[in-house]
Amino acid sequence: MFKKILVANRGEIAVRIIRACKEWGISTVAVHSDVDADSMHVRLADESICIGSHQPQNSYLNIAALMSAVDVTGAEAIHPGYGFLSENAQFAEIVTKHGIKFIGPSPDLIKKMGDKIEARKIAKENGLPVIEGSAGNVNSVDEAKKISENIGYPVLIKAAGGGGGKGMKVAKEPEKLDQLFLMAKLEAKKYFKNDNIYIEKYYNNPRHIEVQIMSGKNRTVHLYERDCSVQRKYQKLIEETPSPVIDEKIRSDLLNKTIKMVEKIGYEGAGTVEYIYENGKFYFLEMNTRVQVEHPITEMTTGIDIVKEQICIANTGNTALTQNDIKPRGHAIECRINAEDPSKNFQPSPGIINVCHQASGFRTRVDGAIFQGCKITPYYDSLICKLICHGRNRKEAIQRMLRALDEFVIEGITTTINLHKKILSHEKFISSDFDVNWLADESFY
């Protein structure tokens, strides 16, 4: 096993990785920006090193600074977490060429699956249903019009290198296509330095379903699916497993096809294959080549530590799991608690947390990096922690989550805790009668 791992991240995911390393008996190195010197991940790690100023490009996105930290500390491996450089093929390649183990798939697979056009092609070649749309990059408005007319409006214009809703535009009628196409290209260039655009059919009322996989050289296994349909502007707010809208026949088909595709491409590590699901049919959306924010709900139902298994696969090349080992129990729900004000269009709410009482109790888990007196800065993602609850069934999981949310007290900043209470108490959530557009149609704020 590795003796020392550098965690190339911050916040709750850095804390999560450090905890997994400690359980393997592995020493950890935390990196931090100047404003994160007193953060929880720095306090928990065995060593820490400042890699730059608060601007992400000067610290957590600074490949040279990270590699210098590896040299100084003698770390044998790097865990990138999620976000920042976790799906950066150039970073993975530099780490690998430096003789350091990158805890994730190969740089080549990161690059291929990170390009949405290439990922669609790979998925289709390996038997996954793909949304009707352009075969590749769409170079002009005229080409976009022809494709859109062929598949029928509404259509979704998407950045090939995109994610998080950036570089995505919905054209509901031909008159808006020109403007939206150009806007999507500009956003794609700005956020991803890649203005390649493709077009696919837009589904009005889909659910967002994803399959968690763990894969080594010896075999690939799935850890079942998650339903991530409670979203705002393509950002997930609440996730649950299992999906309450998929029957066993569809689930079996989805899982089997996912496994076959992942095995054929030679994937190693933890990954998630995402789909949209509507009218009894599912369609490939993308593959995330890293650990997901919402991985804890899968851990709660399967009893498998995904991050520890990631490290094990990186060390040996194989997974110790077999499909027969994985027998999910009950239902789990995760609420992402953000430092945002929902009443002010989700404006970030930085500041000092002067009161912090975290929820606890039976089958209740908090993944976070907050404590009384900690400072929430405006420089990074607003996610400050995740509350996860498990129950024997969905009804019990919802009730346990509502109880836990009532216990959770954070003062000094504004959070999304009360919003989560409203959503989980809503009759549409309770009956699972919603889709990814639900929050845009309902007034919760």
Question: From CA 40, how far away is CA 376, in angstroms rounded?
Answer: 12
CA angle, 143 then 116 then 109, to 5°: 140
Helical segments of 84-233, H only: 89-97, 107-114, 116-125, 141-151, 177-192
> Strand 235-241 and strand 220-232: pairing?
antiparallel
Catalytic residue among 290, 336, 365, 400: 290
DSSP 330-394: SEEEEEEEESEEGGGTTEE--EE--EEE---STTEEEEE---TT-EE-SSS-SEEEEEEEEESSH
Tell me the one-letter amino acid at 367: D
CA distance between the termini of the chain: 49
Per the annotation, the verdict on 336 as an active-site residue is: no
Supply the DSSP symbol for 202: P
Token readout for 97 is 């060429």
Supply the DSSP symbol for 175: G
Asked whether the beta carbons of 41 and 8 are under 8 A apart, the reply is: no
Which residues are identified as catalytic? Answer: 290
